[in-house]
C-alpha cells in the first residue's frame, strides 16, 4: 500500500497495481504498532557523529 499520496506534486499519476491511500489508514498504524510490540518497545540505536548534514 502506498500512503500519503496526497503529497504528490500536481499532475503526478501512480499505477493502480496496489492501493494508493491519500492518508495513513488505521490498518497501517495497527501493523506499525504490532511491529513495535514485536521489537519489545525498543527504538534502534543511531550513530552520533556530532554533525548534521542538511
The domain spans of the chain are 5-38
- pLDDT, tens only, 26-37: 888 999 999 999
- Scored b (16 or more CB within 10 A) or e, 13-48 reads eeeeeeebeeeeeeeeeeeeeeeeeeeeeeeeeeee
Does the pTM of the predicted model rise above 0.85?
no
Cα–Cα distance between 4 and 51 in angstroms, integer? 30
Cβ contact 21:3 at 8 Å: yes
- pLDDT, tens only, 4-49: 888 888 888 888 898 888 888 888 899 999 999 999 998 878 888 7
Amino acid at each position: 500500500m502506498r500512503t500519503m499520496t496526497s503529497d504528490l506534486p500536481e499532475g503526478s499519476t501512480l499505477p493502480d497495481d496496489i492501493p494508493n491511500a491519500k492518508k495513513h489508514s488505521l490498518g497501517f498504524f495497527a501493523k506499525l504498532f504490532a511491529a513495535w510490540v514485536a521489537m519489545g518497545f525498543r527504538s534502534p540505536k543511531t550513530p552520533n557523529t556530532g554533525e548534521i548534514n542538511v
